[in-house]
Structures are given as structure tokens and as C-alpha cells.
Chain A
Amino acid sequence: MIKLEMQNITLAYGHKVVVKDLTFQVMPGEMVGLVGPNGCGKSTIIKALSRVISPYSGRILLNGRDISQIPRKDLARLLGVVPQIALLPSAFTAFEIVLMGRNPHLGLFQYEDPRDMAITWRAMERTSSQHLAERRISELSGGEIQCVVIARALAQETQAILLDEPTANLDISRQIEILDLVKGLCRGNKLAVVAALHDLNLASHYCDRLLLINKGRIHAEGTPIEVINTENIEQVYGCGSYVHTHPLSGLPAVLPRVDSNRNSSLKKYR
């Protein structure tokens, strides 16, 4: 069980500030969605949480412990990441890639034992990717690679998972399958989950809480019903939308309003 906290985090690439004074926390068993337009800082937040970049100021805490004080290997046992575009070495097989998820659990002089193999296989089973096990990465589609990377994060057996656009390359049934799986782990194993999502409808249906981020700041925070409304979408994305209540779940669902006037800027190219 792990609690994830960001306290007054400012993130910058060189002198370019990307995220300003951000504070939020994720409890065990909670799934928090980061939503917002392209370039708003979602991926940067994921990178900071996994200590790929270090914050300009502020602290990131795992169960009250500053992550900059946690050795990388220990951190990788607590926190797994599904990166946005996973570039994988094409000559390795899918199984070998998922097996790399066991790396943080192995000492320098250790080899993967049958238990590691079994955990790896189980992770592939859960993401319905075991039929890919012997295939080389070069032979897989974008969606299949996505499943392999998610399986690798599962094989890592962490207590928190960060997902950066986990459904980007997946078809509609795979999107639901993967998010069901993540939500199930979140609830069943009390994982703390942070997911950066572009699809507001998926975010609305799977996340307990949403952070709507605009230009590196939190624009709105709360349950999907509190965050997803026409006003917020207009303010953050600058486009009209029609937000209605999903007839089955009762959660907000978004349809973009396709306004012919908005295309006027394109007309001059015709």
C-alpha cells in the first residue's frame, strides 16, 4: 500500500517551466487521471514521478519518503511505468522484454528463477499477450507492443503504476480491457494509479478523480462529474463540446461540437 504525493512541484526543461507549483496526492486503491491538452505537462509529471527528471522545486513523496532519496532499484520495486511511446529493441522477443520487468527484483549475481518466469507469464496472460511471447518486437503492431509494455509493468509487481497514454494505440475493446485490468489491480491490490489520458470519456469512466491540467497548472480537480463539463472543456481546450450523462453509467460523456466556423482558418488553404 503506497501513497503518492506531489508537493508544490515545479518542473522545467532548462529555463522553460512546464509545470508550476503542482500539489496533489494519490491514495492506495485510487485511480487518478491526468487530462488536458497536448503539451500541458502530463507526460512531464509522469517523468518526474518516476524520477527520470528531477523537480526544479518541491517534493515528491512515496509514503512520506522523498523519492530523490530512494535508490532507483528500490523505487522500481514500488513504482512501475508504462511509457507513452515505448521504443523497444526490435531483436528481443516479447517474453524477454516482459522478463525485464523482473530486473529490479534481481541482484547483480542472480538469474531469473522459475518464480520470475511464472510471474512474467502471468503478466502476459493478464494482458492477453501470451500468444506474442515468442515473437520478436519487430514483428508486433503498435497495440501489441503497448500490451507487452503493460505486461512488463505488471511483472514489476509494484504498488503504484504510472501510465502515460496507455490506450493510445489500442482498439476500442483493448482500451476497455486494459483499463479494466488496471482498475481491477487498483481496487484489488490497492495500487495507487496515475494515468495520463487523452480520451475524456475513458478518463471519466475509469478514474476516481481527475486533474484537468492547463499550461502546467491544475485547472480543475475532483470527481469526473465535477471536472468534465462544457465550461471547463471550453476554457482548457478552447473548443465547444456537448457533455451529457452516459445512459448506463451515469458518468459524464463528451462529444465534441463540430463547428463549421472553427474550420474557417483552414479555408484559406483550399
Chain B
Amino acid sequence: MSLQQAKLSHTNQAAPAALYPHWRSRVYAILGLLVLFGVIVAFATTVGSVQIPFLTTSSILLSKLPFVNMNPTWTSALETIILEIRLPRVILAGLVGAALAIAGATYQGLFRNPLADPYLIGVAQGAALGAVVGFVLPIDWQGLGLGTVPLFAFIGALLSVAVVYTVARVGKVMPVTTLILAGVALGAFLASIVSYLIITSGEKIHGIMFWLMGSFSLTQWSEVKFVLPYVVVGVGVLLIYARSLNVMQLGEEQAQQLGIDVEKLKLILLTAATLVTAAAVSFVGIIGFVGIIIPHAVRLIWGPDHRFLLPLSILVGAIFLILADIVARTILAPSEVPIGVITAFCGAPFFLYLLRRRTKVLF
């Protein structure tokens, strides 16, 4: 891997080390962001209505890590607040941020379109319709360990993408443009049904609106446990195919000539990104902005190589959404602001600043 070795083994023909000047800085960035992520988690669990010092919070969190032995100097009530009330919310925010950011980066890379986001091919509208139906119907179904609303949202998201995929498929191939257009059309169709259901929903409208704009309130560990496996598996698959995604940037024809089975790759990446997104939105609602802007911000800072773009997007997305959630629950405390409001309000100016400062090509 290192270019030093390259120099030794092929002295007269090795590529100069200067060719990969960004390798090291990108690896350091990943490590640095991991540390920052830990600090942010501790900070986020410190913030709340009950005043708990940062050191106590950190100690409680650290004591739960494997191989760490600590004598508790805190009350069990504090531990319950930190571990049972605040931590699941923080972890879920991190998971959802990571999921949306990597799904967005994948869709942008796969469609080679800077406007792509995780909701482009119908996930959001499908989830929204499912959730609204869950709110409106006078039933209480459970399944997959989920309540009615998240269960319906999850199924709605997957169903709508399945429909878009089936419509866009022509024989063995799936043209990307057709896929996007089918996604937009089906999305508009579903959104109209959602709108109709909302105005006829009566007093349930508040809950629906809150879900649609996204919220982490009342998060429990059971929700983290549901989302986690989808995100871990999906993210793992996407990371494995990061190099293939780089080659896809050459266009489908050249990618094929470089040994990529383009149709298979599209199917794998779409499935993984869709599952990750569907799991992320099913509990917390349609959180906008993260999936489209975080990958762009990462690309602006660290370049277009997906092998770094994807892991860096995960970390930046997680950190960003945890911070946004802190703002969402403190700014009007004790009531909450939908997190979708915060992500765009705080994130957009920062992104505009990045866009202005950098003159490099984006895509």
C-alpha cells in the first residue's frame, strides 16, 4: 500500500509518493472524526433538563465500554437518565445521520448526479404514505418488533422503491435516467395522497407533521436495535463496493470495459442504500438536507474518491445530526423543534460558505 515500498520494489519505475498526497490526510481525517464522534456523543448526553457534569457523563459512558473497570461515583438515577433516556436518542441520531449521508453519497455516485439524495427514487414519499396511513387508520398492528407507524413507514418505503425499480427496468437493463424520472413521478403521486390524508386527518395532524419533518423524541433502545442491523449491513456492503463506485464514475460503458457488471452493481447498491434509508426514516421521519449536503461537503474537503468519501460521510453525517438534534431539543426547551428545520437552517449556510471558499470542481 505505501508508496515507500513501491519505491523499493520497483526502484526505477515506481510512482512518486507525491501522487497520493491525500491518502495520509484522509486516513487521519477518519481517525480524527472518530475521536470527535466520541466526544460529541458524550457532550450530547450531557445536555438536557437535568444538569449532569460533562465528566460524570463521560465516566458513565466510559464505564460501559468493554475492558473498562470503574467504580461508580454517581447515583443509579443519573446512570438511568444517561443510559436509558439520553443515550439511545443520541445513538439513533448518529445512526440516522450516518445512514442518510452514505445513502446520499451512493445515490449521487451511482446516478452521477449532484442533485441526487436518498429520497430521490421514492423512499421518502413511500415512507411518508406508510406513516400517515399508520397514523390515520384506527388499528394497532405490530410487526418486526415495530409499532404501527414505523412498520408501515418501513414497508411503504421499500414498496415504493420496488415499484419504481420495476417500472424503470427494461429487459435486463435499468437506465438510470428512467429510474430517476419514475422515482420523481411516483413520488409526486404518493405525495398527493399524503397531502389528501393530512387535510382529512383531523386532530392527528400535529403528530403527522412532526413525523414528516423528523424528530428523535422518545427514542428507546428498541428502536436503535431495529435500525442498527440494517445500517451496519447496508453500510458494510456499500463500503465494499466503494472502488466499483469510483469506476462507475467513468460512465456505464467504460465501467463495463473495466470489468464492472454494471447492472448487478446498480442492483446491489440501490438495494443496500434503500434498506439503509428506509430503516433510518421509519422511526424518525423524513429528515432532509443531510443526505444531499453532507456528501457534497465531504467531497469539497477531501475529494471524490468513494473509498474515503463513504466513510467520511458516515462520520460527518452522524456528528452533524447529533449536533442538530441537540439544537432541536434545547432551543425551545422544554418543547422540541422538528429536526428537519434545524438541519437545513444550520447546515445550508455552512455549505454555502464551503461552496464559495472552494473553487475546485465538485463532481
Contact = CB atoms under 8 A, between A and B. Distances in A.
B10 A108 contact: no
Nearest to B264: A72
Given A52-B253, A118-B6, A89 B304 contact: yes
B241 interface: yes
A199 to B, nearest CB: 23
B260 A90 contact: no
Contacts of A125: 13
A50 B303 CA distance: 31
B259 A83 contact: no
A118 B19 contact: no
Nearest to A134: B19
A221 B243 CA distance: 42
A89 B112 contact: yes
A91 B261 CA distance: 24
B15 A50 contact: no
A72 B260 contact: yes
B246 A100 contact: yes
Given A113-B1, A117-B6, A89 B254 contact: no
A104 B258 contact: yes
Nearest to A104: B259
A216 interface: no
Nearest to B258: A103
Contacts of A91: 299, 303-304, 360-363
Q: How large is the interface on A (under 10, 10 to 19, 20 to 34, 35 or more residues)?
A: 35 or more
Interface in A69-116: 71-77, 80-81, 83, 86-93, 95-97, 100-101, 103-104, 106, 108-109, 111-115
Interface string B295-309: 000010001110000
Contact of B15 (A73, A86, A133, A156): A133
A72 B259 CA distance: 5
A56 interface: no
Given A92-B249, A133-B15, A114 B254 contact: no
Q: How large is the interface on B (under 10, 10 to 19, 20 to 34, 35 or more residues)?
A: 35 or more
B1 to A, nearest CB: 6
A114 B269 CA distance: 29
A51 interface: yes
B297 to A, nearest CB: 14
B259 A103 contact: yes
Contact of B363 (A47, A86, A89, A95): A89
A134 B10 contact: no
Interface in B1-22: 1-3, 5-6, 9-10, 13-16, 18-21
Given A89-B249, A91-B304, A117-B15, A103 B243 contact: yes
Given A81-B257, A100-B246, A114-B3, 18 more contacts: A71-B261, A75-B259, A77-B259, A89-B363, A90-B363, A91-B361, A95-B19, A95-B20, A100-B247, A103-B259, A103-B260, A117-B3, A118-B10, A118-B15, A133-B15, A134-B18, A136-B360, A138-B361
Interface of B: 1-3, 5-6, 9-10, 13-16, 18-21, 112, 240-241, 243-244, 246-247, 249-251, 253-254, 256-261, 299, 303-305, 360-363
